[in-house]
Amino acid sequence: MDSAAELLKYYEVYETIGSGGFAKVKLGRHILTGEKVAIKIMEKKELGEDLPRVKVEIEAMKSLSHQHVCRLYHVIETNTKIYMILEYCPGGELFDYIIAKDRLSEEETRVFFRQIVSALAYVHSQGYAHRDLKPENLLIDEDHNLKLIDFGLCAKPKGGLGYELMTCCGSPAYAAPELIQGKAYIGSEADVWSMGVLLFALLCGYLPFDDDNCMVLYRKITRGSYNNPHWLSPGSILLLNQMMQVDPKHRVTIRQLLDHPWTMSGYGTPVEWYSTQPLGYIDEDCITEMSVSQKISRQSTLQLVNETLLFDDDDDDDAEDRCYDDDLPWVPLTPQQERATCPSAEKRRDQTKHAPTPEREPIALHHRHQERRDRCRNGPMKTKRTLPWPIRMLIYLLCRPRSPVANRKATRPNKRVLTTPTHNNTNKVGNKVDTPQGGGSTCKDPSRKRPRERVEGKEEEEMEILAFSPERRSRSLDLAGASRGDSSQKRRGGKVFGSLERGLDKVITLLTPSKRRGLRDRPRRIKAQYNVTLTSQTNPDQVLNQILSILPEKHVDFAQKGYTLKCRTQSDFGKVTMAFELEVCLLHRPEVVCVRRQRLKGDSWVYKHLVEDILSTSSI
Ligand code: 6BB
For residue range 120-179, what is the model confidence (pLDDT) as tens digits? 999 999 999 999 999 999 999 999 999 999 999 999 998 899 899 988 888 899 999 999
Alpha-carbon gap, residue 477 to 33, rounded angstroms: 17
Alpha-carbon gap, residue 77 to 63, rounded angstroms: 18
The half-sphere exposure of 302 on its side-chain side, counting CA atoms within 13 A, is 12
Chain mean position to CA 87: 5
| CB 107 within 8 Å of CB 144 | no
Give the distance (Å) from ligand 1 centre to CA of residue 616: 28
Please name the residue whose Cα sits nearest to atom 23 of ligand 1: 18
% of the chain surpassing 70 pLDDT: 65
Give the distance (Å) from ligand 1 centre to CA of residue 167: 27
Residue 421 has pLDDT above 50, yes or no: no
Residue 3 has pLDDT above 60, yes or no: yes
Place 530 in a pLDDT band, splitting at 50, 70 and 90: confident
Q: Of the given ranges (30-39, 224-233, 439-448), which has the lowest mean pLDDT?
A: 439-448
Q: What are phi and psi of 224, to 5 degrees?
A: 65, 30
Cβ–ligand 1 distance for 620 under 6 Å, the answer no
Give the per-residue pLDDT at 103.
97
Cβ–ligand 1 distance for 42 under 6 Å, the answer no
**Span 59-88, average pLDDT:** 96
**582 burial type by CB count under 10 A (0-12 exposed, 13-18 middle, 19+ buried):** buried
Residue 369 has pLDDT above 60, yes or no: no
Please tell me which of 82-91, 301-310, 381-390 the model is most confident about, judged by mean pLDDT.
Answer: 82-91
Residue 454 has pLDDT above 90, yes or no: no
Give the per-residue pLDDT at 244.
98
- Closest ligand 1 atom number to CA of residue 141: 24
| CB 16 within 8 Å of CB 25 | yes
Place 594 in a pLDDT band, splitting at 50, 70 and 90: very high
Give the per-residue pLDDT at 279.
78
Residue 224: what residue type? Answer: G
Give the per-residue pLDDT at 263.
98
Q: Of the given ranges (68-72, 340-344, 561-565), which has the lowest mean pLDDT?
A: 340-344
Cβ–ligand 1 distance for 199 under 6 Å, the answer no
Give the per-residue pLDDT at 591.
85
Give the distance (Å) from ligand 1 centre to CA of residue 37: 9
Q: Which residue has the higher pLDDT, 516 or 18?
A: 18
Which of these, 498, 519, 342, 332, lies nearest to 418 by C-alpha position? 498
Cβ–ligand 1 distance for 18 under 6 Å, the answer yes
Cα-based torsion angle of the residue sequence 529, 531, 534, 535 in order, rounded to the nearest 10 degrees:
-150
Give the per-residue pLDDT at 384.
37
**Span 449-466, average pLDDT:** 37
Query: What residues form DSSP beta bridges with 526?
Result: 587
Task: Give the 3-state secondary structure of 475-496.
Answer: HHHHHHHCCCCHHHHHHHHCHH
Chain mean position to CA 229: 32
Alpha-carbon gap, residue 562 to 387, rounded angstroms: 44
- Closest ligand 1 atom number to CA of residue 599: 23
Give the per-residue pLDDT at 250.
98
- Segments in 173-230 forming alpha helices (H): 177-180, 187-204, 214-223
Place 196 in a pLDDT band, splitting at 50, 70 and 90: very high
Look up residue 284 and give its DSSP letter. H
pTM over 0.85: no
Query: Is the bond preceding 270 in cis, omega lying within 30 degrees of 0?
Result: no
Give the per-residue pLDDT at 353.
32
Radius of gyration of the chain (CA): 26
Residue 132 designated active-site: yes
Q: What are phi and psi of 610, to 5 degrees?
A: -65, -50
**Span 183-189, average pLDDT:** 96
Please name the residue whose Cα sits nearest to atom 11 of ligand 1: 92
Place 211 in a pLDDT band, splitting at 50, 70 and 90: very high
Give the distance (Å) from ligand 1 centre to CA of residue 120: 19
Residue 198: what residue type? Answer: L
Cβ–ligand 1 distance for 70 under 6 Å, the answer yes
Give the per-residue pLDDT at 390.
54
Residue 341 has pLDDT above 60, yes or no: no
pLDDT tens for each residue of 310-337: 443 333 333 332 333 333 333 323 333 3
Place 479 in a pLDDT band, splitting at 50, 70 and 90: very low
Please name the residue whose Cα sits nearest to atom 14 of ligand 1: 90
| CA distance to 20, 93, 463, per residue, from 600 (Å) | 8, 11, 19
Give the per-residue pLDDT at 308.
61
Give the per-residue pLDDT at 412.
34
Give the distance (Å) from ligand 1 centre to CA of residue 281: 26
Q: Name the active-site residue from 50, 96, 102, 132.
A: 132
Residue 373 has pLDDT above 60, yes or no: no
